[in-house]
Structure 1
Amino acid sequence: MHRMIPIKATCLTLFAAVGFALGLSLSPTQAQPPSVVHADADYDASGYVTPAGMVPPSMYQGSALPLGMSSGVMPVGFNGPVDCDGGGNNGMFSGGMLGGGGCQNGYCEGGCENGECGEDYDAGIFGRRARCRLLGGRGFAANMTACGGCAHPGCRACGGLTNTRFFCMFCRGGGCEACQFLGRGYLLGAIGSLLPYQDAGRGAQRWYDLSAEALFLSHSTGNGSGVVTTQGVSGTPVLSIGDADSDDLEAGMRLSAAMIFGAGGNLEFTYMGGQEWDSTATVNDPTAQLYSVISDFGVTPAGGYDDTDQSLSQSLGNQSEFDSFELNYRRRTVGPYNRFQGSWLVGLRHIRYNDRLIYSAIGLDNNGVGGDRRFFTSSDRNKNRLFGPQAGFDLWYNVMPGINLGFGLKGAWMQNDVKRDSFLAFNSEAPLATPGSVEFNDTDQDSTVMGEFETTLLYRLSHSWTVRSSYYLIGIDEVRFGAFDSQNIRNFAAAVPSTPPNANRAQTDNLVIQGFSVGAEYIW
């Protein structure tokens, strides 16, 4: 044992000597600041391109600066003062300690996934949930138990609650479903489900297989507006033809079907109509002092006719019906950039429009004989049947995928076949001034023109279903309306013919139909 001690001592002595010799051979050193190796580098001439999001190399030139400064050599993990998505602020809670995410200016900014600060980033030494709790939504000075959702709904620090919960009359801050309806996005999610279907893209070509709409239309009346009845001989007007105008909106339908017919082309069948307008206007006078235009309001003959004057009641009624049928070939095209689309069409159109005007009068007893009331009734009905070729076009603007706004025009030259049915019934029509009636008919034919304007808004809900709403304006020239032909009635009553005379030409005027529709389109 005593023999080993000199050996160990000798080894230690040798190691110490070698270390001392090496120390003497090295020159003394001092800490120096980092030198700028590439201070004079010409990055522009070298063709160097700074990647997107990276600070240009020229910003790195200069002396090394302490941690937290805005220039010089930047410390590892430093990402600058950005929001949670950018990586946090530049203090001790930057990416290195708190993780890849962070809190801008001491609280959680937006930009985190679903408002959850640091959800998609590294947790760091504290963890992403602890990070928001630690900062308390407003920095260290904030009360960590009063986190207002880090100023954004959904922060992990407060479990998705917002400050609005303190105003809730149900839970008073507990965070029930009632006060979190907005904060958790339920309402926004419901609204988001109503966004249009966009998978077909902005360039989806205009198309439908079936279309059905509820149609509400009004129409103009061409019966005139003259006075029909006065109170007293040539007295105050109390009833006019315009009082029976049936121009209210009436419900009908519009149905359309399309079938592909060649590249870019299709056949379309469209029906619109079903409207039936009906209105009545009545005046009463218990003193039987109502006089009609047939006797020039009681002047010719003096005191008027027994059946049409000295009346207790007189009334007017107007009835109208409308239907339209179309068969068209349409050719579609798409404009540049898919924003505009259009089409042109040619086809055939048939329109039916019926108009009737009814006038009636009820007077005093028949001179005290039999106790019957004197009466008079006039009904004049005109059936318009229009048929001819038409042509037109439409233009559509794609506001965004799933929403389209368009308008269209159509024009047609048509032949109008008119059939007129007139009916008269009064107290003294038959021989010996007894009650009777007479009916006569005639026909006429004329050419006319028609024009239609349409504007439509489409909102696509799914691949198959689209909601649509349209406005329609249809104008037709020289349409026959029901008339109150006082001169024809006067001639007929005075002559008391055994055969009725030919009916005079009916009232002719322009017909205007307009209204709107709401419905849906379907694609197989």
Structure 2
Amino acid sequence: LAIALSVLAAPKTEAQQPGGYANGYYPTQQAIYMTTPGSIGGEAPAGFAMSAPSGVQLASCSSCDAMGCDSPGCGLGGGAFGGGCSACGGACGGACGMGGLGSAIGGVGECLAGGYDGYNSQCFGQANGPYGSGANCLPRWFDASAEWLFWQRDISESQAFASTNIAGLTALDANQLDLSHVSGFRVTGAYLIGPSTGLEATYFGGFNWATGIQATGNGNLYSVFSNFGTDPFNGYAESDAANLQQVSLSSELDNGELNLRRRWVSANCLVHSSVLVGVRYLRLRDDLQYRTVTATDSMTYGVKTDNDLVGAQIGGDMYIGITPRFKIGGDIKAGVYGSNSSQRTWMNGTQSPWLNESANKSDTSFVGEAGLSAIFRISSQWTLRAGYQVLFVDNVALGVDNFNTQSPFGNVTRDVFLNNSGDVFYHGSSLGFEWTW
């Protein structure tokens, strides 16, 4: 009798579970597992329901060794197969006969046997990260995020501007321009409007690419405006037989979005995914300048293009939970947009009158965006993220594509045009954080 009373009086604490699940298998089963005082109890994610697997003994083992429980009928619940548990099948396995899968995918390095019925690949009660391993079953969420972007723009356009000697080798070409990596930023705010459903507002921009090339000579540089010194022969006073010719290009990119996103978690809590629909506004601007300096004269010729795109998009993301702290995944978005493109061409020369031309056109464009990311949760509120993104835009007006090679000198009438068939490709890395209230 004394022994029985001492056993009954031994302090134990039940693993903590959310309301409605406090006594284990909802609604009638006893506690899934017990833990000793001071150990870490498991916390089941909200809304998690399961039935007791057959053949499982709902009690912790009194002792264990490398092969699991010493007590008869317990099976391989703890020890070598429980993986870091405070008792046989305890904080990890949950009940004798169930090994639980630990905090890595498939329980590698933690627990080897199957996890809870309906909750495989997870292990309650592990002190891994800001939550127990059960946190992997919570939908991925943040209230705000901010990222530093380091992107470059690829240039595929080719346009010869100058040659060395009359009808000679090309001295300046647009494909020599290099819009290499520059810094920008992206910020996102999210507002929960329903279960696993939120509104997201995103802006990215701040990019200002700028590049330039030049050629120097001794009165032997000839311009595209004279067909490289052949029409008229020896060219124009302001652009040909030049000592210096320069080409510069600057470009800006701004983007705003409002999306409705719905999130899901797979049955085994490994895959976190979402779909979204929304609207997007994107603005792309180019400023191209061509400058020539001869022995007596000079000229500056400029082309500015502006593109405004507005339309609807769809997309989504998918992340794999490596541990409760660490996930890897990717996202994709695409849409068709109404676009309005315009160009303005101007020239200021020492002999020629001021030139001012413009044109605009409305059309449809496509925008596609994709990326790969890794996120690491460092606390219950802060998550680090890093990734690589690509952005493709077609049917836009670019500075090089709208460079009119017809001579702007004299009283000639030029054909004013707008070319909005250009494609542009951006790509680069990102680094930032997510914050949860």
C-alpha distance in 1 between matches for 2:198 and 2:244 = 57
Match of 1:243 in 2: 176
Picking from 361, 367, 374, the partner of 2:292 is 361
SS at 1:215 equivalent: strand
SS at 2:176 equivalent: helix
C-alpha distance in 1 between matches for 2:154 and 2:359 = 24
**Are residues 1:521 and 2:434 paired?**
yes
Picking from 166, 170, 185, the partner of 1:233 is 166
Between Structure 1 and Structure 2, which shows a larger proportion of helix residues? Answer: 1
**Are residues 1:277 and 2:277 paired?**
no
Between Structure 1 and Structure 2, which shows a larger proportion of strand residues? Answer: 2
C-alpha distance in 2 between matches for 1:292 and 1:317 = 15
**Are residues 1:455 and 2:388 paired?**
no
SS at 2:219 equivalent: coil
Match of 1:299 in 2: 230
Counterpart residue identity of residue 257, structure 2: E
Aligned residues: 317
Match of 1:320 in 2: 251
SS at 2:300 equivalent: strand
Q: Are residues 381 and 231 of structure 1, via their aligned partners in 2, closer, same or farther at CA, if it must alter by over 3 Å?
A: same
2:138–2:265 contact (8 Å) kept in structure 1: no
TM-score (norm: length of structure 1): 0.57
Counterpart residue identity of residue 301, structure 2: S
Tell me by how many angstroms 1:503 deviates. Answer: 2.2
1:245–1:318 contact (8 Å) kept in structure 2: no
C-alpha distance in 2 between matches for 1:418 and 1:276 = 19
Tell me by how many angstroms 1:411 deviates. Answer: 0.9
Match of 1:202 in 2: 136
Tell me by how many angstroms 1:502 deviates. Answer: 6.0
Q: Are residues 485 and 257 of structure 1, via their aligned partners in 2, closer, same or farther at CA, if it must alter by over 3 Å?
A: closer
Counterpart residue identity of residue 283, structure 1: A
Tell me by how many angstroms 1:230 deviates. Answer: 1.5
1:292–1:309 contact (8 Å) kept in structure 2: yes
Match of 2:283 in 1: 352
1:280–1:317 contact (8 Å) kept in structure 2: yes
Tell me by how many angstroms 1:377 deviates. Answer: 1.4
SS at 2:416 equivalent: coil
C-alpha distance in 1 between matches for 2:284 and 2:362 = 14
Match of 2:386 in 1: 469
Counterpart residue identity of residue 242, structure 1: N
SS at 2:225 equivalent: helix
Tell me by how many angstroms 1:440 deviates. Answer: 2.0
1:274–1:323 contact (8 Å) kept in structure 2: yes
Counterpart residue identity of residue 473, structure 1: V
Picking from 184, 190, 193, the partner of 1:252 is 184
CA-to-partner distance for each residue in 1:254-281, whole Å, 9 max, x for gaps? 1001000112210000111211000111
Match of 2:151 in 1: 217
Task: Calculate percent identity across the aligned residue pairs.
Answer: 26
Q: CA RMSD in A?
A: 2.4
**Are residues 1:398 and 2:321 paired?**
yes
Tell me by how many angstroms 1:202 deviates. Answer: 2.0
C-alpha distance in 1 between matches for 2:396 and 2:403 = 20
CA-to-partner distance for each residue in 1:116-158, whole Å, 9 max, x for gaps? xxxxxxxxxxxxxxxxxxxxxxxxxxxxxxxxxxxxxxxxxxx
CA-to-partner distance for each residue in 1:4-40, whole Å, 9 max, x for gaps? xxxxxxxxxxxxxxxxxxxxxxxxxxxxxxxxxxxxx
Counterpart residue identity of residue 363, structure 1: T
Q: RCO greater where, 1 or 2, for CA within 8 Å and sep 6 or more?
A: 2
C-alpha distance in 2 between matches for 1:458 and 1:332 = 17
1:292–1:298 contact (8 Å) kept in structure 2: yes
C-alpha distance in 2 between matches for 1:450 and 1:271 = 15
Counterpart residue identity of residue 383, structure 1: D
Q: Which moved more, 1:507-516 or 1:414-423?
A: 507-516
Counterpart residue identity of residue 193, structure 2: F
Tell me by how many angstroms 1:375 deviates. Answer: 1.0
**Are residues 1:445 and 2:362 paired?**
yes
SS at 2:166 equivalent: coil
Tell me by how many angstroms 1:485 deviates. Answer: 6.0
Q: Are residues 336 and 348 of structure 1, via their aligned partners in 2, closer, same or farther at CA, if it must alter by over 3 Å?
A: same
Tell me by how many angstroms 1:465 deviates. Answer: 0.6
C-alpha distance in 2 between matches for 1:467 and 1:487 = 48
SS at 2:295 equivalent: strand
Q: Are residues 503 and 483 of structure 1, via their aligned partners in 2, closer, same or farther at CA, if it must alter by over 3 Å?
A: farther
**Are residues 1:508 and 2:431 paired?**
no
SS at 1:225 equivalent: coil
1:196–1:459 contact (8 Å) kept in structure 2: no
1:293–1:486 contact (8 Å) kept in structure 2: no
Q: Are residues 226 and 218 of structure 1, via their aligned partners in 2, closer, same or farther at CA, if it must alter by over 3 Å?
A: same
1:380–1:484 contact (8 Å) kept in structure 2: no
Counterpart residue identity of residue 328, structure 2: L
C-alpha distance in 2 between matches for 1:196 and 1:459 = 10
Counterpart residue identity of residue 282, structure 2: I
Counterpart residue identity of residue 474, structure 1: L
Aligned counterparts, 1:64-463, within 5 A: 196-199=129-132, 201-222=135-156, 224-246=157-179, 248-285=180-217, 287-365=218-296, 374-430=297-353, 437-463=354-380
TM-score (norm: length of structure 2): 0.68
Tell me which structure has the larger Cα radius of gyration. Answer: 1
C-alpha distance in 2 between matches for 1:507 and 1:264 = 41
Unaligned runs of 5+ residues in structure 2 are 1-61, 66-78, 85-127
C-alpha distance in 1 between matches for 2:289 and 2:432 = 35
C-alpha distance in 2 between matches for 1:484 and 1:477 = 13
Tell me by how many angstroms 1:484 deviates. Answer: 6.9
CA-to-partner distance for each residue in 1:274-313, whole Å, 9 max, x for gaps? 110001111111x211111111111111111111101010
Match of 2:111 in 1: none
**Are residues 1:495 and 2:426 paired?**
no
Q: Are residues 401 and 485 of structure 1, via their aligned partners in 2, closer, same or farther at CA, if it must alter by over 3 Å?
A: closer
SS at 1:202 equivalent: helix
1:482–1:507 contact (8 Å) kept in structure 2: no
Q: Are residues 312 and 459 of structure 1, via their aligned partners in 2, closer, same or farther at CA, if it must alter by over 3 Å?
A: same
SS at 1:364 equivalent: coil
Q: Are residues 310 and 506 of structure 1, via their aligned partners in 2, closer, same or farther at CA, if it must alter by over 3 Å?
A: same
